[in-house]
Structure 1
Amino acid sequence: MTDTNRRSLFKALAAGAVAMPLAGRAGAASGTATATVRMKPPAPRWARGIEGQRQADLGDGTYLNPIVAGDHPDPTILKDGDDYYMTFSSFQSYPGIVIWHSTDLLNWAPVGPALHQQIGVIWAVDLCKVGSRYYIYLPANADDQGWKIYVIWADDIRGPWSAPIDLKIDGCIDPGHIVGEDGRRYLFVNGIRRIRLSDEGLSTDGALAPAYQPWRYPEDWVTENFAPEGPKLLRHGDWFYLVTAVGGTAGPVTGHMVIAARSRSVHGPWEHCPHNPLVRTQAVDEPWWSRGHASLVEGPAGDWWMVYHAYENGMRTLGRQTLLEPIEWTPDGWFRARGGDLSEPLPKPAGGKRGPNGVALSDDFSRDRFGVQWGFHDPRPSDAARLQRHDGALWLVAAGTSPVDSAPLTCGVPDRAYEVEITLAPEADAEAGLLLFYNHKAFVGLGFTADTIRTYQYAEELVWARAPRPAGPVRVRIGNNENVVTFHYSFDGGRTWRLHGTRMEVSGLHHNVFGGFLSLKVGLFAAGAGQAAFRDFRYRALV
């Protein structure tokens, strides 16, 4: 069957052309009813870049979402001349708030982390530029003591960035910055509420006050909760536009959505967009679920675009990924999303210059990639000192008794199917291992002591599965093929491989089960006493 025929068949099935009877259903007049057969969309054929990683730019004048694959939620985007910069929520990973750069809105490469000082879990931030200075407004929650909003600044987008400054805005998340018609600076936060900032943007100059009562969707829509959040603002012509997320960022796939309002003043009154909701997943057979948290940006040729996040159908384990959708301004001064079927390629933004895309994840540990590729999950203040590089290896001082209480070093992944390999060498009293790690309650993988193989399934060790191993380094491979995980290991440097006897299915290791809004990452851990050496990490996408 050709790809065209497969696509036609899928569309017919998704439209309900194939149905099956359900006998004896209560309330059916004839004693039978029909139910539409739903299918998961087939994996599209993305372009392949570094290490086979998927990329959006198809090279023929079109692109296929996502534009930044893997866990990159709550995008905030800045157009700075011919350059674009974007960053995302970094949650419990430190260093955090990695900034990415593009010159065409499609090809993105990381610049580096902006936040080095640990201040807690980081949610949706806002990146902006006022005059010649860059600012990131960020909400953080340290040790569940409550949310606070901070600001960091830099005179160069590549840093150095300042230490975080506490703005004393407590109990708020999702800041959105705007300069008003009065020339003053304001932050909007979840709620939707507004507070005035000082002229330098590093302190507040007023009280937090209600700003906008968001548009309400019909009560019978299936959503997680109302949750107005993620306010992003821009001035276009004579109007200020306020783009907001409602419906909850996870939960049912039909919950999250994008709405808009406009006003001639940042002080209101705000009128609801007649096209609300502008973006929303409406059925489980769509390729992208829980679409929301949008920002608008002008393209290189003067057209306009919307960036937002979504879960990939059937692949919640990858986290929320960044999508790009074209919009059009309507004669009445509003805008509409016009991407249509996001399972199909779309015309790429015009006028941009193609630049680097992605980053190689394979690592020989000869240089510092901490904060761009690698980051500790929920580190303690002392964890940074656990990490050293010498003798061609990454050395990790052991902490905790197992992966359950040892902060692992993690690496996000962009692909639906991939393999990773690494060589481990634990010292006599240490355990070293390779994981797929969501959080301390949800992970799978293998651990190796000096003489024993240990198997971890869904955050518990299978003690009965312990097996002896010969002394010396071990090379370990994890293959994840659309959430089906297979383990191999080798005691002769990868010349011969042994298949581990247990495969695992990990599609449930995501936010709707374990909370936290995270993704399933590759993790390296060292537990017990002493330290472990890690060498020659390899990543390969499975096409």
Structure 2
Amino acid sequence: MHRLARFRGRARLLTTLLLAAGLGFAASSCSSATDPGGKATNATPDAYGWARGVENQRKADLGDGTFLNPILAGDHPDPSVLRDGDDYYLTLSSFDAYPGLPLWHSRDLINWAPIGHAITTSVGSIWAPDLIKHEGRYYIYFPGRTDEGRSNYVVWADNINGPWSEPIDLHLPDHIDPGHAVGEDGKRYLFLSAGDYVQLSDDGLRTVGEIRHVYDGWHYPEQWVVESYSQEGPKITRRGDWYYMITAVGGTAGPPTGHMVIVARSRSIHGPWENDPNNPVVRTQTRDEQWWSRGHATLVEDTAGQWWMMYHGYENGLWTLGRQALLDPIEWTDDGWFVASGGDLSKPLPMPAGEPVDAHGLPLSDTFDGPALGPQWAFYDPAPGEMARIGFEDGALVLQGKGEVPRDASPLTAIAGDHGYEFEIEMEIAPGAIGGALLFYSDRLYAGLGSNGRDFIMHRYGEERPKRLAPGPGGTLWLRMRLEDQVLTIHHSRDGREWTKYGVQMEVSGYHHNVAGKFLSLRPGLYAAGDGQVRFRDFRYRALD
């Protein structure tokens, strides 16, 4: 059995190398169609190489035994993947969006389906979590930061589907990106940014003793173009007699050649840690590559014995989509290190072992049938009790107004992973309320249109024109937002049949982290402001070819 697994792994590696060299499968250039319900009727690759799935969204599985990155399109940063028998589970940074810590399930590392969220109580912006299983219990360790301060937290569950505990403060305010490990002594440890670590209690819910420094990192040549050193994201994997620490340096965004994956190993969890002589094992070499700022990796072994790195990267020229989840095959060398064999990830690669059991992806369209908010939606920077703003009546999402404009209204947003798309929404705006649709990055950058039922307010550059919209009489309005070639075009209708193009189109390619910070992405959004309620009906999303 082990020989067969090794043979299959080597065969996949050979195919990987051929594909990375451009000698393997050629993707056909035809698009998939969708039925009226938004389900994919086929999954043949499109002109760019990706297959098309639900709502015409792009997907990695090409249906011919190969896949094309990203495995999760759109903003899915800092992926932490856990193999649990024949199943794989994944969580990611959720930043200011709540519910947070989204959870995904797969049987083949490529086709992923959402299974829920692990946190609803806000502890601030959530960065770089680590999902692990220890003695039958699931844990997620993660940092949270607010304007008042930051710390590291843990939530736990006996079932991956929940219920999950409330966040427990580990009282670690000076570090980010915790990574869990079990030492050769059987004790539990939490590795932290800057090469530090601390022991955990046996139940994993508090720290024991002092923080210790154990690793100085690997330093790249001074002439390399990076954002900053930023030693972070330690993930610990044990293989044989060695512990491997996978770390990110070079900064997360900034120049495309900055972020990278470095490796160190030790026979003891306490060190000393020696650097891989071939560091970095992954780095974007030039801005001409398809994937920029590749880094922040977790190792995972599939059911046939092939090893992979899962990490994130920005798509060339599309910072607005955020950091997307990527999968890279690795091969272990005779001297106990490993090399990445997926090249620059611009070409198809052989599928991992396993059979998909769930349809890939997350439909973004929503008929708002209730009784709960769909898994595609999250509030931006919610206040305590934000969910109380939501109700469901007669096929409508009833959202109580908050604030005056999107920046203080905590919009509902959904992650989109397509180069272009359009969405429509029907709004019934109560007197005194303002309802609108957006492309929303953060409270500093957004674009779209709002209305009091009679007059419009335009949102552009995170500003309003006019600056404020007076309370109006209310009314029913349809909005259609189309993003194509990074240009937003808006249409509106009073009856849902006859549409009028709004007089301003907006170029939004600069709505991203390197302009406004926060490591987010530009997302479809809905908002309700003012004193009344807005009823949203029949949200329809469709990716463009």
Determine helix, strand or coil for the equivalent of 1:306.
Answer: strand
2:314 is matched with which residue? 311
1:355 is matched with which residue? 358
- Is the 1:376–1:408 Cα contact (8 Å) retained in structure 2? yes
Distance 2:172 2:255 in 1: 31
Distance 1:492 1:468 in 2: 22
Distance 1:469 1:539 in 2: 28
Deviating beyond 4 angstroms after TM superposition, the runs of 4 or more aligned structure 1 residues are 464-471
In structure 2, runs of 5+ residues without a counterpart are 1-21, 23-45
- Is the 1:430–1:449 Cα contact (8 Å) retained in structure 2? yes
2:370 is matched with which residue? 367
The offset of 1:478, in angstroms, is 0.4
2:529 is matched with which residue? 527
Determine helix, strand or coil for the equivalent of 2:209.
Answer: coil
Within 5 A, what are the aligned runs for 1:42-441? 44-142=48-146, 144-368=147-371, 370=373, 372-441=375-444
The offset of 1:333, in angstroms, is 0.5
Distance 2:105 2:370 in 1: 21
- Is the 2:157–2:165 Cα contact (8 Å) retained in structure 1? yes
- Is the 1:104–1:355 Cα contact (8 Å) retained in structure 2? no
Distance 2:76 2:143 in 1: 16
Determine helix, strand or coil for the equivalent of 1:513.
Answer: helix
* Amino acid corresponding to residue 54 of structure 2 in structure 1: I
The offset of 1:450, in angstroms, is 2.4
* Amino acid corresponding to residue 443 of structure 2 in structure 1: H
Q: 1:322 to 1:369 in 2, by over 3 A?
A: farther
Distance 1:411 1:393 in 2: 17
Distance 2:191 2:318 in 1: 32
The offset of 1:146, in angstroms, is 2.2
The offset of 1:468, in angstroms, is 13
The offset of 1:469, in angstroms, is 11
The offset of 1:276, in angstroms, is 0.5
Q: 1:513 to 1:79 in 2, by over 3 A?
A: same
Distance 1:403 1:459 in 2: 8
* Amino acid corresponding to residue 482 of structure 1 in structure 2: D
- Is the 1:113–1:371 Cα contact (8 Å) retained in structure 2? no
Distance 1:204 1:465 in 2: 50
Cα shift readout 1:117-162 (whole Å, capped 9, x = no counterpart)? 11111111100000110000111113x2222111111000000001
Q: 1:372 to 1:225 in 2, by over 3 A?
A: same
User: How does the TM-score come out when normalised to structure 1?
Assistant: 0.90
Cα shift readout 1:222-246 (whole Å, capped 9, x = no counterpart)? 0001110000001001100000000
1:475 is matched with which residue? 478
Q: 1:471 to 1:92 in 2, by over 3 A?
A: closer
**Are 2:544 and 1:536 aligned?**
no
- Is the 2:199–2:209 Cα contact (8 Å) retained in structure 1? yes
The offset of 1:458, in angstroms, is 1.0
Determine helix, strand or coil for the equivalent of 1:282.
Answer: coil
Distance 1:417 1:463 in 2: 28
* Amino acid corresponding to residue 287 of structure 1 in structure 2: Q
Q: 1:43 to 1:207 in 2, by over 3 A?
A: farther
Q: 1:255 to 1:437 in 2, by over 3 A?
A: same
The offset of 1:368, in angstroms, is 4.7
Distance 1:369 1:326 in 2: 39
Determine helix, strand or coil for the equivalent of 2:243.
Answer: strand
The offset of 1:303, in angstroms, is 0.4
Distance 2:284 2:82 in 1: 26
The offset of 1:472, in angstroms, is 3.3
- Is the 1:451–1:468 Cα contact (8 Å) retained in structure 2? no
Distance 1:94 1:465 in 2: 27
Distance 1:300 1:121 in 2: 34
* Amino acid corresponding to residue 540 of structure 2 in structure 1: R
The offset of 1:490, in angstroms, is 1.2
In structure 1, runs of 5+ residues without a counterpart are 1-10, 12-41
- Number of aligned residues: 501
Worse overlay, 348-357 or 248-257? 348-357
* Amino acid corresponding to residue 442 of structure 1 in structure 2: L
Distance 2:373 2:277 in 1: 46
The offset of 1:170, in angstroms, is 1.8
Distance 1:394 1:353 in 2: 33
RMSD of aligned C-alpha atoms? 1.9
1:513 is matched with which residue? 515
Cα shift readout 1:31-59 (whole Å, capped 9, x = no counterpart)? xxxxxxxxxxx972210000000000000
- Is the 1:301–1:352 Cα contact (8 Å) retained in structure 2? no
Determine helix, strand or coil for the equivalent of 1:404.
Answer: helix
Distance 2:384 2:472 in 1: 35
* Amino acid corresponding to residue 512 of structure 1 in structure 2: N
Cα shift readout 1:255-295 (whole Å, capped 9, x = no counterpart)? 00000000000000111011110110111110010000000
Q: 1:312 to 1:369 in 2, by over 3 A?
A: farther
The offset of 1:86, in angstroms, is 0.5
Q: 1:479 to 1:319 in 2, by over 3 A?
A: same
The offset of 1:341, in angstroms, is 3.6
Distance 2:226 2:331 in 1: 27
User: How does the TM-score come out when normalised to structure 2?
Assistant: 0.89
Q: 1:406 to 1:465 in 2, by over 3 A?
A: closer
Distance 2:149 2:407 in 1: 25
Determine helix, strand or coil for the equivalent of 1:183.
Answer: coil
Q: 1:76 to 1:368 in 2, by over 3 A?
A: farther
1:37 is matched with which residue? none
Distance 2:354 2:169 in 1: 40
- Is the 1:259–1:278 Cα contact (8 Å) retained in structure 2? yes
Worse overlay, 254-263 or 451-460? 451-460
